[in-house]
Structure formats: C-alpha cells, structure tokens
Amino acid sequence: MKKGYVVLLIVFGLIVILMLIPAKRQHSETVTMACPPDAVTRFMVFTQQWKKWWPGQQTGDSIFTYQKKAYQIKTVLLNGFYAVTTDKKSSIEISFVPALNNQTQLTVIATTLLPYNPIKRISQLFQQVHKETARELSNHCQSFFNTPANVYGYKIERTKVSLLNWMSAKQVFTQYPSTEETYQVIDGLKNYIQNQHGEIIGAPIIHVRALDAMQFELMTALPVNEPVTPSEQYTIKQMVPGFMLVGRVNGGNYTVAAAEKSMENYVRDYKKQSPAIPFQTLITDRRKETDTSKWITQLNYPVFN
C-alpha cells in the first residue's frame, strides 16, 4: 500500500508541477537604434523590403525563415509586425517607437509554446530558445539599422561646400538627354571657358528636370577658379556656402535614379532643409567607359545643417 501511495504522490506532484508551469515561455529584448523611425517603417511595413534586413530567407509571399524555422506574417502595423511559425509553436513580435535624437527604440518579443507531454514540457522548461531568438534578432536589427549605408544603399556624408564658382549651361530636349547629348552640352561649355582663358578645376555636374511630358531641361556646370565673361548661352553660377550631403554610387542611370530617391529619403528622415537643387557629379567620363556598372557618380544635396 505504501508503494501505491508513493506512486500517487509522485503522480500528484507531477500534476501540480505541470499546473504551475506556464503553457508558454516568453522573453523580450529592447534596443535603441541610431536610425529615424520613418526609415525603420519603410523596411518593416513593406515585406518586399525584408530581404534587405531580415536575417533569413524568404520562401513565400509572407513566409520567412529564421533559425531553421518558417515564420508566417500574420499582422503588419505601422510600428511593427507579428509572425507565427508554420507549426504554431513559436512566434515573434516586433514593435518600435520614436526615441530621442531621431533614433528608434525597438522591442522584440519571442514566444515558445511548451508541449502537452509532461516529460517534454519539463525538459523544454530549461531551454532558452525564446531568449536566444529575441536577443539575436534585436541585436541583428540594431546592427543593421545603426549603419546608414545599409538603410540607404550607400554611404552618405555631410561635407562643406568647397567649390563656389561655376560656369553653367542649359538645353531643352524632347526626350531624356542621352549620354552623347549630355556631353555635347558639357563640351560646348568647356570650350567656351577655355576660349575665355578660364581654368576648370573639377568634374562636370548635371541636373535633369522634366518641364512637361515631352520636354526635359538639362542643366550642367563646370567649376572654375574664377568666373569668365558670361554670354547669353553660358552664365555664372555661385554655389551657396554651407553644407552638402554627398554619396558615390556605381552604375547606370537606373542605379543613379534609385540612389537619388534614397538621398531624398535621407533628407526627409533627418528633416534637412535645402537651399538649392540636388545634382550629380560625373566622376567617370561615360563616353570612354561603355560598361555602365563601372560608372561612378557622386550625388550632391545642398543642406543648411
């Protein structure tokens, strides 16, 4: 009889223990990222951007792998998302809020459901998978978003305006100006400066804007030591002393256009104000280098601060 009572006590003890053990294990990690909330939102809310920051692979429209588990996105909000593994045993929730100095505070909550089997439940009670998941994912996010080149696609720096004197030319085209047409305008300006005994001290810059659906205006300029006598076609331009956001990219017109959009995002994210239009510096002579992947273009965005 005593043995029977012992067995009953053991069983009863196990039942009590199981009742005291929560059905799930949960852990949260909070980090501060040196990245504006608007930039974090673009990456978190739109799942097509996830391949740029998610530390795993995309295997479906809304399924992403992490730590050998497949997570399905269930809810996407303006400040985060909620995802559950396809076997319903684990989940990840990420949320973020603005922090001081244009930073973002991000919280990762990882949850693991314990099995009904008492032996497995007790054995998994001491595992720390949920803690590792929350800690590793929050650290990965912090590392990614702390690097502006990851967020904007290339390194953007603030410098002081160093070239103040420019000679400029404009021309209107009935289509987006080609490489040859662009350099024809630049060559005309270059010849004019040299004929006026001017000294060119840097690479050409350009800015193209659409006047309407059928017309594009090309503006180009060359930096000079001192301005030369202007004409009806060639004019003097003075750069505003101050600061400039600059970044270099490698690639053709499509790559440059995408980089310009990223620069505009940077300006909006960091609430910069601009005294002048942005422009491109043609570091590579595009006529001599036919491989567009080797073109180097510097993007310039004048700012007050």
Residue partners of 191: CB distance under 8 A and separation at least 6? none
Does residue 141 register a pLDDT over 80?
Answer: yes
pLDDT at res. 26:
86
Question: With the CA atoms of 38, 43, 47 and 50 taken in that order, what torsion angle do they form, in degrees rounded to the nearest 10?
Answer: -170
Residue entry with tokens 């998941």: 133
Does residue 4 register a pLDDT over 90?
Answer: no
Average pLDDT over residues 181-199: 97
Residue partners of 103: CB distance under 8 A and separation at least 6? 32, 33, 34, 35, 36
Does residue 120 register a pLDDT over 60?
Answer: no
pLDDT digit string (tens) for 159-170? 999 999 999 999
Backbone angles phi, psi at 110, to 5 degrees: -110, 135
Does residue 118 register a pLDDT over 90?
Answer: no
pLDDT at res. 13:
57
Rounded CA gap, 245 and 181, in Å? 28
Ordered by where they begin, the domains of the chain are: 23-146 (3.30.530.20), 157-303 (3.20.80.10)
Predicted model pTM = 0.86
pLDDT digit string (tens) for 51-96? 999 999 999 889 999 999 999 999 999 999 999 999 898 999 999 9
pLDDT at res. 61:
85
Rg (CA), the chain: 29
pLDDT at res. 181:
97
Average pLDDT over residues 136-155: 97
Residue entry with tokens 């043995």: 3
Q: Poorest-confidence range of 105-114, 143-152, 267-276?
A: 105-114
Rounded CA gap, 77 and 2, in Å? 60
SS3 6: helix
**For residues 282 and 1, which has the higher predicted lDDT (pLDDT)?**
282
- Name the most confidently modeled range: 48-62, 100-114, 253-267: 253-267
pLDDT digit string (tens) for 198-230? 999 999 999 999 999 889 999 999 999 999 999
Give 175-193 as a 3 state SS string: CCCCHHHHHHHHHHHHHHH
155-188 residues labelled b (16+ CB within 10 A) or e (exposed): ebeeeebebebbbbbebebeeebebeebbebbee
Alpha helices in the chain (DSSP H): 2-20, 37-45, 118-125, 129-145, 148-152, 179-195, 253-269
Tell the burial category of 266 from Cβ atoms under 10 Å away from its Cβ (0-12, 13-18, 19+).
buried
With pLDDT > 90 as the criterion, what percentage of the chain qualifies?
79
pLDDT digit string (tens) for 14-37? 555 554 555 667 899 999 999 999
Average pLDDT over residues 261-288: 96
Residues 108, 93: contact at Cβ < 8 Å?
Answer: yes
Question: With the CA atoms of 253, 255, 257 and 262 taken in that order, what torsion angle do they form, in degrees rounded to the nearest 10?
Answer: -160
Mean pLDDT over the full length of the chain = 90
